[in-house]
Amino acid sequence: MDSVSLIGMVSVITAGLTIAIGSLGPALGEGRAVAGALGAIAQQPDEAGTISRTLFVGLAMIESTAIYCFVVAMILIFANPFWDRVIAGG
Amino acid sequence: MTISPDAVILWRWGALHINATMAYTWAIMALLAGGSWLITRRLSSGPGISRWQNLLEVLVTGIRDQIREVSHQEPGRYLPFVGTLFLFIAMANLLTVVPGYHAPTGSLSTTTALALCVLVAVPVYGVAAEGVLGYLRKYTRPTVLMLPFNVIGELSRTLALAVRLYGNIMSGTVIVAILLGLAPLLFPIVMRLLGLLTGMIQAYIFAVLAMVYIASASAVGAPRRGQGGAADTKGEDNG
């Protein structure tokens, strides 16, 4: 197998694995965070504003892990430096 | 498929070229500055205010309230920087309803520049609040051993700020582009709507995180910190 198809194959498979595994953890974490925030709002409805603001910020922090994985997957597929080098060299 | 508006060249002259990121950033700056100038030309404090003045007052009061709640300090010093960040990112993300528009926040260059502004603003506000030594001493809390970790944290959160905003906006664009190829009738519009919501939330989060970082750098010496809601009842004198 020549290097172009090898790099392409590895990149595509790795991109899929990256986003698949990388979205597991944030999904679990966000579920826990939302569940905790909903429980807190149910107990203290007066504090709903503060809780939801903190929840949004926290969700964004958790979600950024998945976003990093997404960016890496996008780089692997659309802006792969090794692919570009092999195409340019060959 | 282009995943960055940097690759969209609008105008080229020799080695100079203007890409979509720069052009639309200037457009947003012109829109914000020109709109504010037009509206604030005829301000009135009487009972009858124009609807645009009402809009601006709602925006500014809302941002002030949010800053006060997040930082437990008077918002006057932070309003120009944090408010500008929020308004710019929100406008950049909302304008995606205009056809042919590329959100400049979907380019890593723009978000890196914004995150670098936050990186610079944190020591500026910190030094202004408690002097050079007081600010530098914060890096050695709780012990001197934490010094490298504090420095690394400062840098990595800047990277996180940039990549978070870029990744969210870029992912919205890419998903719409993929859906245009798969199911072009209705689903791209739904995802666009979701992208508008995400864009607003990301603008809010960027501003809140910048405020949290700045407040944590300039908070210990501030007397109102830790008194809870006491700061909320202070007057709005330094606006």
Closest CA to B187 of B179, B195, B196: B179
Q: For residue B46, give how far its alpha carbon lies from the nearest alpha carbon of chain A (Å).
A: 32
CA dist B216 and B226 (Å) reads 12
CA dist B239 and B237 (Å) reads 6
CA dist A29 and B132 (Å) reads 39
Residue in chain B closest to A63 (alpha carbons) equals: B164
What mean pLDDT is reported for chain B?
84
Say yes or no for a CB contact (<8 Å) between A71 and B167: yes
Q: Which pLDDT belongs to residue A3?
A: 81
Say yes or no for a CB contact (<8 Å) between A74 and B160: no
Q: List the single best residue of B66, B163, B194, B206 to mutate versus A (max A Cβ within 10 A).
A: B163
Only one residue has tokens 């903190």, namely A54
Q: Which pLDDT belongs to residue B28?
A: 94
pLDDT digits (tens, 9 = 90+) for A30-73: 999 999 999 999 999 998 888 988 888 788 888 888 888 988 89
Q: Are B66 and B229 in contact (CB under 8 A)?
A: no
Residues of B in contact with A74 (CB under 8 A): 3, 170-171, 174
List Cα–Cα distances, B186 to B94, B197, B222, in angstroms: 20, 18, 53
Both structure tokens of B72: 């437990």
Write out residues 46-65 of A within 8 Å (CB-CB) of B: 50, 53, 56-57, 60, 63-64
For chain B, percent of residues with pLDDT exceeding 90: 31
φ and ψ of B16, to 5 deg:
-80, 140
Q: For residue B167, give how far its alpha carbon lies from the nearest alpha carbon of chain A (Å).
A: 6
φ and ψ of B101, to 5 deg:
-90, 135
Continuous segment of H or E residues that includes residue B157: helix B147-182
Span B95-117, average pLDDT: 90
Q: Which pLDDT belongs to residue A18?
A: 94
Say yes or no for a CB contact (<8 Å) between B167 and A57: no
pLDDT band at B64 (very low <50, low <70, confident <90, very high): very high
